[in-house]
């Protein structure tokens, strides 16, 4: 009896062992056959991982190789939540929330992730990362990276633009030329032990390829001169906004371009959309009298007027269809040259009526109004120049004097530059070339002729008229000692709620110097200056100051 019980127990135990052995065998087969790849991957993740190696973003230089944007080394803080106990996490949250100015809830959410790697905060200043390192927190580690730095703050902000935390370009040239500047990421395999401690670098290593460098047409010194003067006028005249562009008339190179309001490239988060907008290429406005140069060009080029022809200016009042044109000062009979020197609206309208709307439109298009200039910056708008078939009965008295047409400052400076350049229109541009770390040129951008818009003879005749504007007309405040200046003023009412305002204006001046052998062209536009609002009193002095200092800096004299 006793032996039978022992035999039964032995059988039960043996059977149980057999069942468990069978189950374990099945389980082992499932693991080995069906889950081996998953478990192998898990083991690899626990014991080795790949670190992305960030390339150094290329530097942006001015034309004289002065750095305008470059990268500096920084550290980023990351955590390995899987290696941290609850006490470690509480300690990290307590210290890091104050030191890094992050909410405890934010840090807790990241540390509670079931991951081996989570970012806590990217690209800390060196002194701050040193403070975090001193805490010696378990599970908190550091990754060496680089951060974009703009040494001049807001200087040339609307040209350079900015890059984000991940070194991706977001605005301006940083965005346009991101493919050249960014470079290519590398990677490195790191081996770890069971406690997730780094042991050594694995065999897999791909070095990062640093970005290429941009060399601009911008001259840092002229840019500073332009921004300083523009900012003073912007504040002095309580303006809503302002823009300035300085161009080399022979090449189309932009030496300076600035807007107000502006923003600090090293503190973009505090800026708004309006301050970041490049108004010089993205905002349109009715230019007023600066556009009269186009009417003059059409009349002279087509040989329909000469400088001595007389125009009766109706003593200050003239009806065009159902609209009454007026002049700021009433004039009787003026010569063709004097009509533009004294900026008579009535005289220009009567000249336009004689040459016809089709010619005004033809030369407006020749000077590329209503057409992109092709500048190598994103965001350029075309403006608007309507075809003669769309003109009303009053348009012949509007477009020739700068109304019912919209332009950008870059179009204006390109147009006046073409007159300075013997009638040849150059494409404006801001990037000279792209180079690598060995100073090998990867891509270069040469001056590009777009078209001949008027003959050299007509350009010389226009220069003489524009010199008269500055010598004895509306642009006297643009005069420079010992240097002849040519230019044109403009004062245009703004459209507010569909009607022309009686108190809000655009004040403009465009011109070039030295007039006998032009080197630089410039446009200055001030939006809603007050109480002064005339182009000759608001914008011309900015032109005079910037041009004077720029020519001295470039050592250009009137005798060259």
CA 430, CA 62: separation in Å to the nearest integer?
10
In our burial notation (b when 16+ CB lie closer than 10 A, e otherwise), range 455-470 reads eeebbebbbebbbbbb
Peptide bond into 531 cis (omega under 30): yes
CA 375, CA 355: separation in Å to the nearest integer?
32
- The SS3 assignment for 454 reads coil
Torsion from C-alpha of 91, 96, 97, 100, nearest 10 degrees: 180
CA 247, CA 222: separation in Å to the nearest integer?
11
Q: Which residues are catalytic?
A: 289
CA angle in degrees (0–180, nearest 5) for 319-487-554: 165
The DSSP symbol for 169 reads B
Answer whether 69's CB lies under 8 Å from 60's CB: yes
Q: Exposed/middle/buried for 204, CB within 10 Å: 0-12, 13-18, 19+?
A: exposed
Answer whether 148's CB lies under 8 Å from 71's CB: yes
In 30-117 the beta strands, taken as DSSP E runs, fall at 48-53, 60-61, 67-79
In our burial notation (b when 16+ CB lie closer than 10 A, e otherwise), range 4-38 reads eeeeeeeeeeeeeeeeeeeeeeeeeeeeeeeeeee
Bridge pairing between strands 424-426 and 431-435: unpaired
CA 201, CA 191: separation in Å to the nearest integer?
6
CA 509, CA 488: separation in Å to the nearest integer?
6
Counting every residue, how long is the chain? 560
Who contacts 237 (Cβ-Cβ below 8 Å, separation ≥6)?
Answer: 507, 526, 529, 530, 532, 538
Other CB atoms within a 10 A radius of the CB of residue 187 amount to 13
428, 405, 404: which is closest to 415 by C-alpha?
A: 428
CA 257, CA 380: separation in Å to the nearest integer?
14
**Alpha-carbon distances of 550 from 248, 267, 421, 481, 487, rounded to whole Å:** 11, 29, 19, 14, 17
Other CB atoms within a 10 A radius of the CB of residue 495 amount to 14
Which residues, in sequence order, are bridge partners of residue 148? 71
What are the structure tokens assigned to 162, written together? 């900015």
């Amino acid at each position: 009896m006793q032996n039978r019980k022992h035999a039964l127990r032995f059988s039960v135990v043996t059977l149980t062992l057999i069942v468990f052995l069978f189950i374990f065998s099945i389980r082992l087969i499932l693991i080995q056959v069906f889950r081996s790849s998953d478990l192998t991957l898990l083991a690899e993740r626990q014991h080795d991982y790949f670190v992305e190696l960030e390339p150094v973003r290329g530097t942006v230089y001015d034309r004289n190789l002065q750095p305008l944007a470059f990268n500096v080394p920084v550290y980023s803080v990351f955590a390995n939540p899987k290696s941290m106990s609850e006490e470690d996490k509480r300690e990290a949250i307590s210290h890091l929330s104050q030191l890094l100015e992050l909410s405890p809830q934010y840090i807790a959410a990241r540390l509670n992730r079931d991951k081996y790697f989570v970012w806590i905060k990217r690209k800390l200043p060196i002194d701050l990362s040193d403070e975090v390192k001193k805490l010696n927190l378990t599970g908190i580690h550091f990754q060496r990276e680089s951060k974009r730095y703009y040494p001049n703050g807001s200087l040339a902000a609307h040209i350079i633009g900015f890059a984000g935390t991940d070194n991706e370009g977001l605005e301006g040239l940083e965005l346009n030329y991101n493919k050249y500047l960014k470079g290519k990421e590398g990677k490195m395999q790191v081996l770890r032990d069971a406690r997730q401690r780094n042991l050594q670098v694995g065999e897999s290593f791909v070095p990062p390829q640093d970005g290429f460098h941009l060399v601009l047409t911008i001259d840092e010194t002229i840019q500073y001169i332009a921004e300083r003067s523009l900012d003073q006028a912007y504040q002095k005249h309580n303006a809503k906004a302002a823009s300035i562009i300085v161009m080399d008339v022979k090449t189309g190179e932009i030496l300076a371009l600035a807007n107000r309001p502006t923003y600090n490239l090293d503190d973009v988060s505090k800026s708004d959309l309006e301050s970041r907008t490049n108004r010089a290429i993205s905002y349109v406005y009715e230019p007023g009298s600066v556009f009269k140069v186009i009417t003059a060009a059409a009349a002279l080029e087509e040989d329909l007027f000469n400088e001595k022809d007389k125009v009766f200016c109706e003593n200050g009042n003239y009806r065009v269809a159902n609209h009454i044109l007026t002049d700021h000062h009433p004039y009787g009979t003026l010569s063709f040259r004097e009509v533009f020197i004294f900026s008579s609206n009535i005289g220009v309208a009567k000249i336009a009526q004689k040459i016809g709307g089709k010619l005004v439109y033809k030369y407006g298009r020749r000077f590329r109004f209503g057409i992109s200039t092709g500048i190598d910056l994103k965001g350029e708008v075309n403006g608007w120049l309507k075809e003669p078939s769309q003109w009303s009965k009053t348009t012949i008295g509007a477009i020739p004097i700068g109304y019912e047409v919209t332009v950008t400052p870059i179009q204006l400076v390109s147009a006046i530059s073409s007159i300075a350049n013997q009638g040849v229109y150059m494409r404006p541009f801001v990037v000279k070339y792209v180079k690598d770390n060995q100073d090998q040129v990867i891509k270069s951008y040469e001056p590009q002729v777009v078209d001949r818009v008027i003959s050299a003879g007509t350009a010389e005749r226009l220069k003489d008229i524009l010199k008269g504007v500055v010598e004895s007309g509306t642009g006297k405040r643009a005069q420079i000692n010992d240097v002849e200046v040519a230019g044109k003023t403009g004062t245009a009412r703004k459209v507010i709620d569909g009607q022309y305002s009686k108190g809000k204006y655009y004040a403009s001046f465009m011109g070039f110097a030295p007039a006998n052998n032009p080197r630089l062209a410039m446009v200055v536009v001030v939006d809603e200056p007050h109480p002064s609002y005339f182009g000759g009193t608001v914008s011309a002095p900015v032109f005079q100051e910037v041009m004077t200092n720029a020519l001295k800096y470039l050592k250009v004299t009137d005798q060259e």
